[in-house]
């Protein structure tokens, strides 16, 4: 598989993903410095994000079985990674992760919200028998020579506050099972909001807005991408209808 036919299995996604070079979520040193400056302007404490050393330690521990320059890295996308992966990849497939469900259960005070009006972004919760279909999303393949550099940027983005528990899990795809990086909810994290009602979730999404855009737009982008893929997610559909009934931000 080469970059020229990365969309072999999903041609409908061509032109519907933000290229890595245009992604505002590709957290290079320069972009991270901008985020830090924004955090200071919003009055967030100096320790608003994890130290670089902790983020790097997490990356090394999880990817200990990935041999640099030899093994590719598959990444499971169920939220913003589905339309703005922020990393270079050479293959994308459909994927369904059994035993988990996507939920807007992670509070954010900088990306899609502010300290005064926090937003909510997606995380993965264990669903068990409650959702036997699991979570359907995408699997991106980062080629072996790029794994080290691209995973560093991905970890900075997703583990910026330590709100996920990254792990390598077996991930079924139509082309065969792969071992993929999966970002599961850190239910012990201060930003985890797993007990919110659907109505409270909708009210938050309808009003929050942060550095990279509104919370409502985040949901709309998710809905559009799921529609393109023909993915049915009952939770997202009901939430989308409820948010549409909420008064938009002014």
158 is catalytic: yes
Is residue 178 in some structural domain?
Answer: yes
Q: What is the mean pLDDT of residues 93-116?
A: 95
Q: Is 171 helix (H, G, I), strand (E, B) or coil?
A: strand
Question: Is residue 145 in some structural domain?
Answer: yes
Residue 55 confidence (pLDDT): 97
CA 112 – CA 211 distance, rounded (Å): 6
Alpha carbon 236 to chain centroid distance? 15
- Tell me, what's the pLDDT at 159? 97
**What pLDDT does residue 46 have?**
87
Q: Which residues contact 27 (CB under 8 A, 6 or more apart)?
A: 35, 86, 153, 156, 157, 160
How many distinct structural domains can be found in the chain? Answer: 1
CA distance 80 to 78: 7
The predicted model gives 204-212 an average pLDDT of 94
What is the rounded CA–CA span in Å between residue 170 and residue 178?
A: 6
**Residue pLDDT, tens place only, 46-99:** 889 999 999 999 999 999 988 766 899 999 999 999 999 999 999 999 999 999
Q: Which residue has the tokens 């901008």?
A: 34
Residue 248 pLDDT class (50, 70, 90 cuts)? low
Task: Answer whether residue 4 shows pLDDT above 90.
Answer: no
pLDDT at 153: 97
Contact yes or no for 99/128 (Cβ under 8 A): yes
The answer to whether position 206 is within a domain reads no
- Residue 131's pLDDT is 61
Query: Which token pair is 231?
Result: 């993915």
Of 12, 34, 61, 158, which residue is the catalytic one? Answer: 158
In a domain, 219, yes or no: no
Determine the pLDDT at residue 221.
97
Enclosing domain of residue 82: 3-195
Confidence (pLDDT) at 249: 56
Q: What is the percent of the chain with per-residue pLDDT over 90, rounded to a whole number?
A: 86
What number is the average pLDDT over the span 22-47? 92
Regarding pTM above 0.75, the answer is: yes
Is residue 134 pLDDT above 90, yes or no? yes
Phi-psi category of residue 105: left, alpha or beta, with phi > 0 → left and psi -120 to 50 → alpha? alpha
As a whole number of Å, the end-to-end CA separation of the chain is 46
- 23 found inside a domain: yes
Residue 202 has pLDDT above 70, yes or no: yes
Owner of token pair 């139509």: 174
Per-residue pLDDT at 65:
87
Decide if 201 is inside a domain.
Answer: no
Query: Taking Cα atoms as reference points, which of 20, 38, 199, 175 lies closest to residue 115?
Result: 38
| Closest CA relative to residue 119, chosen from 193, 45, 221 | 193
CATH label of the domain that carries residue 17: 3.10.490.10
Three-state DSSP state, 146: helix
In a domain, 113, yes or no: yes
Tally the C-alpha atoms within 13 A of residue 200's C-alpha that lie toward its C-beta.
Answer: 8
Instruction: Tell me the average pLDDT of the chain.
Output: 93
Higher-pLDDT residue of 131, 192: 192
- Read off the DSSP letter of residue 6: T
Q: Are 98 and 203 in contact (CB under 8 A)?
A: no
Q: Does 247 reside within a domain?
A: no
């Amino acid at each position: 598989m080469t970059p020229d036919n990365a969309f072999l299995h999903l041609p409908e996604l061509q032109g519907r993903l933000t290229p890595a070079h245009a992604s505002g979520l590709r957290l290079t040193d320069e972009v991270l410095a901008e985020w830090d400056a924004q955090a200071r302007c919003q009055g967030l404490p100096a320790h608003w994000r994890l130290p670089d050393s902790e983020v790097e330690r997490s990356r090394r521990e999880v990817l200990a079985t990935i041999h640099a320059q030899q093994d590719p890295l598959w990444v499971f996308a169920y939220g913003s990674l589905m339309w703005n992966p922020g990393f270079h990849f050479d293959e994308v497939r459909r994927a369904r992760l059994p035993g988990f469900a996507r939920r807007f259960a992670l509070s954010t005070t900088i990306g899609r919200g502010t300290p005064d009006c926090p937003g909510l972004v997606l995380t993965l919760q264990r669903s068990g028998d409650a959702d036997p279909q699991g979570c359907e999303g995408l699997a991106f393949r980062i080629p072996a020579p790029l794994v080290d550099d691209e995973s560093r940027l991905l970890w900075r983005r997703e583990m910026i506050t330590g709100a996920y528990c990254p792990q390598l899990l077996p991930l079924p795809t139509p082309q065969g099972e792969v071992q993929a990086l999966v970002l599961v909810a850190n239910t012990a994290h201060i930003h985890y909001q797993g007990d919110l009602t659907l109505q409270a979730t909708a009210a938050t999404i309808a009003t929050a807005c942060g550095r990279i855009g509104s919370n409502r737009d985040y949901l709309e982008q998710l809905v559009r991408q799921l529609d393109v893929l023909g993915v049915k997610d009952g939770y997202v559909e009901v939430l989308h209808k409820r948010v549409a009934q909420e008064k938009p931000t002014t």
